[in-house]
Structure 1
């Protein structure tokens, strides 16, 4: 009898409940995540402060986009006010720390306070959908922007607010290399938390609300409860990310949290992949690096056509809009879907199709 070696597993095939509960689909993904974390841990010894700052912003934006993915990707509720909640978290953490609360404690507290505010705005939005929901969340953006400009006691008004440096038992997170570790900690906690949420009863209920709310309601799922919960979770991660952002910059100003930022967060989850945990981080990296790549390209092209140098700023902004359109048309499921196709082709080679 000829011995036939065990074939490599293909497709989505699980033989036990333990396999269904695994955090990562394959051993390769597990090793890739571990390698990525180790790479970030040693990056302060390998790269300049500029590159480290890019890692920090990608991590912060990834956390904020993760919250929006819970709301839009998992629950199917759109939000045009995510940038305002990001800003509220930054101001809240700066306000808490100015009252003598340690910065490392102020950050999660700012997330909780932002969550409460988000749930308040989520109450009327929970009964809306489609265009009406978009308008309601747009209203929250402008309401909070006006609050930032007028609430001198909380935000410093038009003058802005100082954000203290984070420290742990005298260890100051006062450099890019040190602050990267703080951001990495919250990235791991946030992404593991949401990945596990997706496998719980509440996570499945959120997806059911997105896929078919009438069927979900017939099954006994409280639509209002879960829609408000999704707004709260999205606001928590936005507030936490905003707190990290504010203390990284050391100064918080209302001008940085406009509707443009909310649109960028939407672009991140569209490009990364709606409903995908890892897609939030991939989309954040894409949105942050694309304008810089376009600026480099425009500057190189300006040596041949000098007039292009005058429109570099417009090229950077247009590249984000063009990327959203191209992904919606050519790759609506985002970068994560493209990666899954590449992985499937590799596993099924030479019979991939």
Structure 2
């Protein structure tokens, strides 16, 4: 017998979806994702694929930074490792994407384990600088290891194939990118119901106390780096199939800053925060771009005049979230849920 929100068992208390309403909303969301490509135009399908790729990578960074408390500015470089892994395997081995994507994640995870070694000795700003150094090293490898990466010219990638069918256009790749991202998000959500996920949270909150309690810091910190890099590698592989060309300039440092900003705006330490932050960071510039375009008939120089303003507005929105809602969009969502949960009795 349930009283209020109390649960009878630990498993029930830890369930991801524990009410019929939540299951109903999940079904509605999945139905909307299935129907979306049949009603949306090519542009919005393109944006949906890009959002899904960013959600996958931001979720990986949230595991490392939001849940484990280890700041990283190398997420874009790990995506690059995954993208180049897919490119090399497609072009030289001809292996299917069902093998290439996990391989991209595993190779990126191995690189992440190496990059994560300094995390036992340094943290905070110093660890961020160490990951920046790693991203510069990887960028140098991408640009100079010509026999493998193609140097500054990069590598062209053939379309992904499923049962002999080419997945070349966004409308076709949608059925690859979105399901993979959903599986990755679900895996991350379930991770923090396990011993490993709880160890990550303990390290974030009090690493010395966690070590006293028997949590081996180096093992779990490296595991967090490996998981985060695995997510980035798979996201990079999806990115490679989506854009069909990989160059050293595809994964600059500013892209790593983009993902860090996404989890800050969305809300660190929550799966929902990584999703909302990635969606926000990807779509807001596009919405502002569309708004500028709508002013074209009345203001001929709108693009030239308002393009810098679009960047300023975008930056101001991020700063506004940091100042007025430090816990991000996820907290705004939770607050709205609490309000409507009690409505109309809340005064």
Q: Structure 1 length as normaliser, TM-score?
A: 0.92
Residue in 2 that maps onto 1:89: 82
Residue in 1 that maps onto 2:45: 52
Distance 2:211 2:44 in 1: 48
Mapping 1:155-174, distance limit 5 Å:
155-174=149-168
From 31, 44, 51, the equivalent of 1:38 is 31
Distance 1:188 1:194 in 2: 10
Q: Are residues 188 and 307 of structure 1, via their aligned partners in 2, closer, same or farther at CA, if it must alter by over 3 Å?
A: closer
Q: Are residues 345 and 133 of structure 1, via their aligned partners in 2, closer, same or farther at CA, if it must alter by over 3 Å?
A: same
Contact 2:71 2:125 in 1 (8 A): no
1:313, CA displacement in angstroms? 3.7
From 67, 70, 92, the equivalent of 2:60 is 67
1:316, CA displacement in angstroms? 3.5
- 2:237 counterpart of 1:243: yes
Contact 1:127 1:224 in 2 (8 A): no
Q: State the secondary structure of the residue aligned to 1:275.
A: coil
Q: Are residues 154 and 72 of structure 1, via their aligned partners in 2, closer, same or farther at CA, if it must alter by over 3 Å?
A: same
Contact 2:266 2:273 in 1 (8 A): yes
Q: State the secondary structure of the residue aligned to 1:181.
A: helix
Distance 2:200 2:211 in 1: 11
1:139, CA displacement in angstroms? 0.7
1:13, CA displacement in angstroms? 3.4
1:176, CA displacement in angstroms? 1.8
Contact 1:78 1:134 in 2 (8 A): yes
Contact 2:2 2:8 in 1 (8 A): no
From 170, 175, 180, the equivalent of 2:174 is 180
Q: State the secondary structure of the residue aligned to 2:116.
A: helix
1:25, CA displacement in angstroms? 4.9
Q: State the secondary structure of the residue aligned to 1:239.
A: helix
The CA deviation string for residues 301-330 of structure 1, in whole angstroms up to 9 with x for no partner, is 566666653244433433443222111111
Mapping 1:250-329, distance limit 5 Å:
250-300=244-294, 309-329=303-323
Distance 1:86 1:319 in 2: 28
Contact 2:116 2:225 in 1 (8 A): yes
- 2:120 counterpart of 1:126: yes
- 2:71 counterpart of 1:78: yes
Q: Are residues 278 and 344 of structure 1, via their aligned partners in 2, closer, same or farther at CA, if it must alter by over 3 Å?
A: same
What is the RMSD of the two structures over their aligned residues, measured on CA atoms? 2.1
The CA deviation string for residues 28-47 of structure 1, in whole angstroms up to 9 with x for no partner, is 33322222222111222111
Distance 1:288 1:69 in 2: 16
Contact 1:268 1:283 in 2 (8 A): yes
Q: State the secondary structure of the residue aligned to 2:70.
A: coil
Residue in 1 that maps onto 2:188: 194
In the alignment, structure 2 segments of 5+ residues that lack a partner are: none
From 208, 212, 219, the equivalent of 2:213 is 219
Q: Are residues 243 and 30 of structure 1, via their aligned partners in 2, closer, same or farther at CA, if it must alter by over 3 Å?
A: same
Distance 1:147 1:238 in 2: 18
From 309, 317, 331, the equivalent of 1:337 is 331
Distance 1:236 1:244 in 2: 12
Distance 1:203 1:7 in 2: 27
Q: Are residues 316 and 149 of structure 1, via their aligned partners in 2, closer, same or farther at CA, if it must alter by over 3 Å?
A: farther
1:88, CA displacement in angstroms? 1.5
In the alignment, structure 1 segments of 5+ residues that lack a partner are: 1-5
